[in-house]
A and B are shown apart, each in its own frame.
Chain A
């Protein structure tokens, strides 16, 4: 192959017209001025320093700078011959320089949106799960109790009702590894929260929506499932994953619990993902069944909550922390009329009546 080029020999800035012949990976430069010296380079001695698409190549031949200017086609052909020697950065730079600018911007923006989405959908839940998995039950309980205590400072605890609810919960005898504490707080909003490590906070207003003790049991079973399955911990960690990431990267592992406790009150406004919600429904229903309570009460509770939320906006808060899946109630079993009466009924009924007094 023979090309017409202009080249600069790295000694002077004088442009030299020349014929460049490439045969068997040997480049031969023959200047048009007869008195000028010829140059012969083998392929492997040539390194690309800079390529400007369709215009010029700056080469380094054994340390000496050689610049070639040529027509767009020739410049591109020469570039194709040397581009396999580019470093990773040069490849990236050449790609940016070659691809059309509109496409470059479009690709950049798409990747950026993709990164943001993948962070929200994938990286931050993963960090949440990772942080949750790294904690032992004891650590979780210790941090969780501190979080709950911090949050409870903001609310007015009804100590009498809290004691009754605790007795009601203990009477149900659900299986759990966590030391579960139950609280009733006087708040106009209707909500129920599960803190990591075993604290259930029930807002007074939601108690009136539960029509019988079995629905209240279903509510507690659902919250307990969030605790047992570490949904609360995961959701909090995920929400704070950016902070956590920074504190872990900066080596400040002790900072993790500080961040969690500092942000305890945020839990009130954190929403579980829909998949965690339906998981809590399934597990909650299983807890009910294990204690001889009809799991259909779970469905009844949520139908009930949904119905009431239309009439009263106060309930919206519960539904925003525990979002309803569209198929939520249809997935859960219906209440059965022939379900045998559970063993704890009399005690539970009495406590339920006290709670509603």
Chain B
């Protein structure tokens, strides 16, 4: 697999196998079950190590460096924070409502921010880490008004908010010395979502693959890399036909196996996504250099799991 012989524009490949993923998932389930859930962070770690390890860019695989131990610590702290919020109810109902309101504004932000930061800073390629230099307070200052606007507009503003958060997270992420950036517009995302909303039911969900493709292309096509001199955009060559073929058959696969086909469907989906991304040719990826960067904990990542939020780009 990892040969380093090919020339030309470097590309992504994904080699994850459904059967292997299924096997790891079963072992994870067993160990999580017999340890009464304590194994969960390690289970997550095993899945990520596998997925990262089967994803190659220019014939070199990514590596996930997170450990079960640090995720376990994050897990405990995230639960502790939630329990603390709940405990407030028993102390004083007025204090509790205040804490609750603050919590529903801050915790999802912590989850989104922390999950992204954790994943990014625990990923390496050819020995070069991704780095992240965002600041949570800064992120929160942006997040809170955005969230309030979204609530006031009954979710309509959500598309704009999402784009803003994405831009913040991307612009503070570096791949070696290449800084990520994002120029997607909230209005474009809003139109995609709106069309999706109106076509979903009349087409009996046959529009779902096209919708997912549009969302994916929106993210990829508006993402750029910047080495300080040159800005160059990523490009998605995923087309409607491919997306429909892969995602529709995946749907059938999951449906007709009562969910057991899920691992295979997931692997096929990931493969489809990765193999349709074109990285800019302007950069010499061999010249990437290790950057100093943040190496903090996993609290946000676990909070994202507990609250089941997160931006899945």
Contact = CB atoms under 8 A, between A and B. Distances in A.
Contacts of B33: 115
Interface in B12-46: 17, 19-20, 22-24, 26-27, 29-31, 33-34, 36, 42, 45-46
Given A14-B287, A65-B124, A67-B127, A96 B27 contact: yes
B238 interface: no
Interface residues of A, number: 37
Interface stretch (B61-69, B80-88, B213-221, B272-280): B61-69
A149 interface: no
Chief secondary structure at chain A's binding surface: mixed
A39 to B, nearest CB: 13
Contacts of A327: none
B282 interface: no
Interface in B63-97: 63-65, 67-68
Contacts of A111: 30
Interface string B154-196: 0000000000000000000000100000000000000000000
A338 interface: no
A89 B45 CA distance: 10
B289 A12 contact: yes
Contact of B127 (A66, A96, A109): A66
Contacts of B63: 49-50, 58, 67
Given A49-B65, A52-B61, A101-B19, A13 B42 contact: no
A105 B290 contact: no
B53 interface: yes
Interface string A72-111: 0000000000000000010011001101011011011101
Contact of B2 (A69, A104, A112): A69
A138 to B, nearest CB: 33
Interface stretch (A2-10, A221-229, A287-295): A2-10
B4 A15 contact: yes
A112 B30 contact: yes
Contact of B42 (A67, A89, A112): A89
B159 to A, nearest CB: 36
Contacts, number: 116
Interface in B144-158: none
B30 A96 contact: no
A135 interface: no
Nearest to B45: A89
A194 to B, nearest CB: 34
A115 B24 contact: no
B234 interface: no
Interface in B235-275: none
Nearest to B285: A13
A92 B68 CA distance: 12
A102 B34 CA distance: 23
Nearest to A112: B30
A93 B24 CA distance: 9
B4 A96 contact: no
Query: Which among B60, B126, B128 has the greatest number of chain A C-beta atoms within 10 A?
Result: B126
Contact of A93 (B30, B46, B127): B46
B23 A101 contact: yes
Given A111-B30, A112-B26, A10 B127 contact: yes
Interface residues of B, number: 43
Contact of A55 (B27, B61, B129): B61
A12 B290 contact: yes
Contacts of B42: 89
A13 B127 contact: yes
Contacts of A55: 1-2, 61
Nearest to B53: A52
Interface in A151-192: none
A11 B126 CA distance: 10
A96 B128 contact: no
A56 B22 CA distance: 23
A115 B34 contact: yes
B60 A56 contact: yes
B27 A104 contact: yes
B124 A58 contact: yes
Interface in A12-28: 12-15
A11 B289 contact: yes
Contacts of B127: 8-11, 13, 58, 65-67
A109 B27 CA distance: 9
Contacts of A249: 36
A109 B61 contact: no
B27 A108 contact: yes
A93 to B, nearest CB: 5
A108 B290 contact: no
A101 B20 contact: yes
A219 B68 CA distance: 59
Contacts of A8: 60, 126-128
Contacts of B124: 58, 65, 67
A2 B68 CA distance: 35
Contacts of A65: 124, 127, 129, 290
B105 interface: no
B50 interface: yes
A241 to B, nearest CB: 15
10 contacts: A8-B126, A10-B127, A12-B287, A13-B288, A14-B286, A49-B65, A50-B53, A52-B61, A104-B19, A249-B36
Given A93-B46, A104-B27, A105-B23, 5 more contacts: A6-B4, A55-B1, A65-B124, A97-B20, A115-B33
